Amino acid sequence: MSRPRSKATAPDPLTKMTLRDSTVRMLRQYKRPGESWDDVFTRFIEDHPPEAFLKEMERRTREEKSYPIEELLKKARLVP
């Protein structure tokens, strides 16, 4: 599953990485048909956010007001 790229911007330049053969063998287990290695790394990064992101989400859960989904749907006029 590759990320959609904006047609307005040029693609990112490519970078070479040196990996041990054993690391490549392990990574192949995560590669899906049709995916590029960039897709594999991007998916991994998105699935494993940095600790700072997780801490911020925990803080928001504790400190910020939450609303019932029904209220939000009505406010957005998505349900009667």
Q: What is the 3-state secondary structure (H, E, C) of the chain?
A: CCCCCCCCCCCCCCCCCCCCHHHHHHHHCCCCCCCCHHHHHHHHHHHCCCHHHHHHHHHHHHHCCCCCHHHHHHHCCCCC
What is the arithmetic mean of pLDDT over 66-78? Answer: 90
Indicate whether 10 belongs to any domain.
Answer: no
Indicate whether 8 belongs to any domain.
Answer: no
Indicate whether 58 belongs to any domain.
Answer: yes
What is the arithmetic mean of pLDDT over 29-35? Answer: 94
Range of the domain at 67: 21-75
The number of domains in the chain is 1
Indicate whether 69 belongs to any domain.
Answer: yes
Indicate whether 3 belongs to any domain.
Answer: no
What is the arithmetic mean of pLDDT over 40-68? Answer: 91
Indicate whether 1 belongs to any domain.
Answer: no
- What pLDDT shows up at residue 5? 53
pLDDT band per the 50, 70, 90 thresholds, residue 26 = very high
